[in-house]
Every structure is written in C-alpha cells, then in structure tokens.
Structure 1
C-alpha cells in the first residue's frame, strides 16, 4: 500500500467522498489516502496528486499551517541590465493553497544608489508586490496573498509591508487546484547598478 494525496472535485466544494467503506472529508485542500481508495475517489471526480512533493519541506499539502514551502539564503544578483530579471522561482503544487489559505512570502534584498530600482513578486505572472527603493538600501519585505473563500480567487495588497499606501489591491483568478509559480524579480535603474536577493522564505498557511 502507498499513500497518495487527493483533491476533492469542484474546487473543493464537494468535499466528502466515499471509498471501500471509508469516508473522506476535505476543506478544499489535498488529503492523504491509501492508493486503492484514491482509485475509487478518482472515479468520483477527485484528482489524484501523487505522493507529497519533495519541495514542501517542513510543511505539506493538506497539513495545518504553518508549512514551509521553500526557503533559501543563497544570494542571487542582477547587474548590467535594466530589464526585469527573475532571481527566484518557487513552485506552488496543485492543491497546496486551500479556499481560505494564505501564501506568506518574505525576502531580504539590497540595491545601490540610483533611483527607479524595482523589486516585484509575481504570482503566475501577476505582480502581487511592487517595491521601488530609490537609494542604496538593504531591506526586508513580506507579502501576503490570501484565497477569498475559493480556490480560484485571490487578493493581495501589493506594496509588501505593513501600513498604508496608494496602491490598489490586486486580485487574481488563478486555479489553485493546478500548479502555479511565485517569482521574485529585480529591475535595476541603471546598467551600472546591482540588485541582490539575499534570502527568501515562502509558507502556505491553511486554516
């Protein structure tokens, strides 16, 4: 017998399933079941995700928060360009974020002493955090992305901090029952400048 993870149908709305005399209930996130029960649930519309993805580290699909999805303190830099450049890519496995879950991402970075530097965080292409440091600086930013009682609706306040700002909330309609990506990018203000991502940590928090 092997243990695999399964995700309920209809984006987690139909969250009770039956297999070989056993009842399985999910709040919209993937749950572990024996492989022979997974085959029965699959016939009822459940999605079989397989074993726990290795990149989940200390957390896990279907486990209570907090769960560390990815973490690194290996520096990554960009220089010699003014183009937006990806410094880190984090895979978000299918079903990892439940309908009321939260992605909590933090990072430490530095820039040099010209204006117009931009640090962004993108969820499958959409900018959910935009920070524009204008002087030589090292900083820490945290960004939260929350599911809105759905696996296909998310919201973020894009400035990566605590307090007030002039940026409107960003909403996305990504299907989190499918695999997505979180990227951290840097865009220098001049080709002579260097921007460095020193570390990042990404967690999945499901209630």
Structure 2
C-alpha cells in the first residue's frame, strides 16, 4: 500500500506527524510533502524537527518540486491525506490552482478518482471556507476537520490525536487499534457492550 501525506502550515501539525508514525508502524509506504510553513509550524508546535518528521516517511519532497513522482496521475497510490489542511490549500484545490506539489498531488488524486482526505483546520468557518468544502465534498473529497470525540474519555492530548488518526486510517481501510469504538466502551445508558 502507498499513501501520500501532506502537511501544510495550519495549526495541528501533530496530526500529520502521528499519521506518518502510524503508517510507518503498519509498514505502509508513505510519500510526504512538507510545505515551508509546515516546517515552521512543526518547530513552533511540537518537539519534532522537520528533519525528524521527514525521516518518518519512506520518501519526502519539497513543496516546490513539481517534478516529483506524486505530481503525476501515473503514480499509483491508495489515497492522500492533507493533515492539517490550511484554508489556502483548500481554496487552491477547490479552484484547481496547482501552484505547488501539495495542490498538484491533490488535483491528480481527484482526477484519478482516488481517496483524498482533508483535515481542514480553521474556526470559526466563514462562507468561503464552507463553499470550498462543499464544492470538494461534491467531488468525493472527504472533509474531516480534526474534531475530537469525548465518549472514549480521553485523558491526554495524545488520546485525542490518536482517536482522530485512527478514524483517518479507517477511511482508508487500514486496520488499527487506535479507535475506541462506540458501543465497546463506557458504562452510561447510551453505551452497550463491554468496557
């Protein structure tokens, strides 16, 4: 299996990092595209360096490398995730404005009818953001803001990130044990099954 992971400069670089880490643990080939602002956000928000993040991937590319294999529809892969996806990147994809490798790879993923998951990061959302999301959702793109769930009783930020990462893996059909499944936890009247 081969997956493209892109990290943009929006807040939430830890989602892309965790995704890369989990894909590596699963033995899945990954192709990372890191934007210049993503490198800065990684430094500001995490204990990782951009170099350490790139080392998690099987292959990595600069965002301005439009000659990279992932820029072509002939590059076969099983899905692309942009985690996190900035509103600028979202807008570029929605308009078909392939001005860098991230937006070009996303454009190719759409035209080749492969899964594209955008972990959009912004709040509150304005009408422009929502219209761009709706346009892409109508094309089959999965819009997945990293909205945490709390039914699993998270105790740490890592718990929240892992639950969301597991849901992304679910969307790609990748088996994982990161997700605490509804109905398999809890003791309240809304829950069924064992703890």
Q: TM-score, with normalisation over the residues of structure 1?
A: 0.23
Bigger strand share:
1
Bigger helix share:
2
Q: TM-score, with normalisation over the residues of structure 2?
A: 0.24
Of structures 1 and 2, the one scoring higher in RCO (CA 8 A, sep 6+) is: 1
Say which one has the larger Rg: 1
